[in-house]
């Protein structure tokens, strides 16, 4: 199944199933904080009409303290890293355990195939395109596809491709909540690296375009 994103801002979007008349299944909204943090709320639309919905998770983003994840149906209310932490200390991959006790990993390992000479901004673009969810046996459960405008191949909206067969051991709520968390981390790294490159360009007296080239 595919969950299509209605907006390019993945922290303020609807996810809708292409096979169900495009009715939104999930709503993701983010409210920024003047202190640099913010709150992302994930809501699930329930059968019975557009006004029938339930908040399933909330993420509080903090600049100088751990991010807080509230995912009540999984008994999670605290440091987000306790639920979906790094696979290794220096790894960008994140893993979590489903309610049924199976371990899954959001994998951005494709960046290891990228020449190390590329800037971190370019690397983050590739992570954004290729992020994928794998089971402990290496089976691909889900993959995020960035929106494509059809320059060479057929255009398609940004969408989360999910293996219906492999949903037996992890439910859709777990996939959407952890995906949203990982995409937010990617955006934060992107913004931080862009700011660093911009600052370096200004200090050096050159344009950002030249610095990125």
* Alpha helices (H) in the chain, listed in sequence order: 80-83, 120-130, 172-204, 208-212
Two tokens at 49?
């009409």
Cα–Cα dist 37/64, whole Å: 9
The tens digit of pLDDT for each residue in 31-80 reads: 988 777 899 999 998 876 556 889 999 999 998 899 999 999 999 999 99
Residue 147 falls within a domain, yes or no? yes
Residue 212 falls within a domain, yes or no? no
- 């691909």: which residue's tokens? 140
Residue 33 falls within a domain, yes or no? yes
Residue 144 falls within a domain, yes or no? yes
Residue 213 falls within a domain, yes or no? no
Confidence of residue 195 (pLDDT cuts 50, 70, 90): low
Query: How far does Cα 92 stand from its chain's mean position?
Result: 12
Confidence of residue 128 (pLDDT cuts 50, 70, 90): very low
Cα–Cα dist 41/162, whole Å: 22
Question: 26-43 burial, b for 16+ CB within 10 Å, e for fewer?
Answer: bbbebeeeeeebbebbbb
Residue 101 falls within a domain, yes or no? yes
The residue range of the domain holding 200 is: 2-204
pLDDT at residue 197, rounded to an integer: 52
Query: How far does Cα 27 stand from its chain's mean position?
Result: 14
Cα–Cα dist 114/85, whole Å: 24
Residue 57 falls within a domain, yes or no? yes
Question: 174-205 burial, b for 16+ CB within 10 Å, e for fewer?
Answer: bbbbbbbbbbbbbbebbeebeeebeeebeeee
Number of domains in the chain: 1
pLDDT exceeds cutoff 70 at 132: yes
């Amino acid at each position: 199944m595919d969950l299509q994103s209605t907006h390019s801002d993945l922290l303020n979007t609807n996810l809708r199933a292409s096979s169900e008349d495009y009715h939104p299944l999930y709503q993701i909204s983010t409210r920024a904080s003047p202190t640099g943090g913010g709150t992302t709320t994930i809501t699930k639309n329930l059968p019975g009409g557009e006004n029938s919905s339930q908040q399933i998770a909330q993420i509080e983003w903090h600049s100088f303290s751990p991010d807080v994840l509230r995912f009540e149906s999984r008994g999670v209310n605290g440091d987000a890293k306790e639920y979906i932490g790094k696979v290794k200390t220096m790894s960008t991959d994140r893993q979590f355990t489903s309610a049924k006790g199976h371990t899954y990993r959001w994998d951005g390992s494709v960046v290891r195939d990228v020449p190390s000479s590329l800037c971190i901004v370019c690397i983050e673009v590739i992570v954004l395109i290729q992020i994928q969810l794998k089971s402990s046996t290496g089976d691909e459960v889900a993959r995020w596809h960035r929106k494509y405008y059809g320059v060479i191949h057929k255009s398609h909206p940004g969408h989360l491709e999910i293996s219906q067969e492999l949903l037996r051991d992890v439910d859709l709520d777990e996939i959407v909540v952890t995906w949203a968390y990982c995409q937010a981390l990617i955006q934060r790294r992107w913004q931080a690296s862009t700011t660093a490159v911009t600052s370096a360009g200004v200090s050096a007296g050159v344009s950002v375009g030249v610095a990125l080239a």
